Structure 1
Amino acid sequence: MKIAVTYENGNIFQHFGHCESFKIYEVEDGAVKSRQVVSAVGSGHGALAGFLSENGVDALICGGIGGGARAALAEAGIRLYPGAAGNADDSVNALLSGKLVYNPDVECAHHHDGEHSCGEHHCSTDKHGCPGNH
């Protein structure tokens, strides 16, 4: 089984569609056997589900995520654990022990006034490739 986490500086990155890297964990018999950070730069919103599928990912832990990405992940057969925050390694261990805190109903909401909210972050200026004016 492979679990991916939207990743930045050791933590869960909070905007799936602007994620530049994922940490992918190979799990066997309920324990992490290997982990690696992979770059997703240039993939963008629409291609990230395909990128994860091509990397053999079975489950994704992330922060905010939009409806289109949710549908693409579901179509790819990738289980989704959105609305999570904190350390990436800790989140995978929590998932494996059945204790991951996440919000299955969280959805990235883009607004028309130049600011949007994604899980735990808000932006109206350029940050991590998020221009804030969709």
Structure 2
Amino acid sequence: MKVAVTYENEQVFQHFGQTSQFKIYEVKDGTVSSSEVVSTGGKGHGSLAGFLKDAGVDTVICGGIGGGAKAALAELDIQVLPGVSGAVDEQVERLLAGNLEYDPTIQCSHHGEGHKCHD
């Protein structure tokens, strides 16, 4: 299993389509075996789904995410767990323990400066 988390300063970045980095975790036998921070190389919104698929990711943890990105990830069989905030390592540990708090109804539909998709 590979889990990608939108990443900025060790925290879950709050807008999937604008993230410049993901922290990607390799999970084996229910525990993290390795992790690395990777740059998106300037890719954004729609192209991020292909970027993650090419990296072998099957689960994404993020803050806000738009409907188009959700659909693109679903089409590639990548599970999306939106509405998450806090330290990335802690959120992945919660996922593996079965107690990650997320909100599948989160959907960002605006792209103005300074917006928040959720609190």
Give the TM-score range, shorter chain.
Answer: over 0.9
TM-score w.r.t. length of structure 2: 0.94
Displacement of 1:90 = 0.3
Counterpart AA for 1:55: A
Using the alignment, how far apart are the partners of 1:14 and 1:45 within structure 2? 13
Aligned AA (1:34): S
5+ residue gaps, structure 1, are 121-134
Task: Call closer, same or farther: CA 1:95–1:110 in 2, change over 3 Å.
Answer: same
Counterpart residue type for residue 96 of structure 2: L
Q: Which runs of 5+ in 2 are unaligned?
A: none
Query: Greater Rg, structure 1 or structure 2?
Result: 1
Q: Which amino acid letter does the alignment assign opposite residue 12 of structure 2?
A: I
**Counterpart-to-counterpart distance in 2, 1:49 and 1:85:** 20
Separation in 2, partners of 1:26, 1:119: 28
SS at match of 2:64: coil
Superposition CA RMSD, Å = 1.5
Q: TM-score, normalised by structure 1?
A: 0.84
CA distance in 2, matches of 1:111, 1:70: 15
In structure 2, the partner of 1:118 is 117
Q: Which amino acid aligns with 1:90?
A: E
Identity of aligned residues (%): 58
Greater RCO (Cα-Cα under 8 Å, separation 6 or more): 2
Matched letter for residue 22 of structure 2: F
List, as ranges, runs of 4+ consecutive aligned residues in structure 1 with deviation greater than 3 Å.
114-117
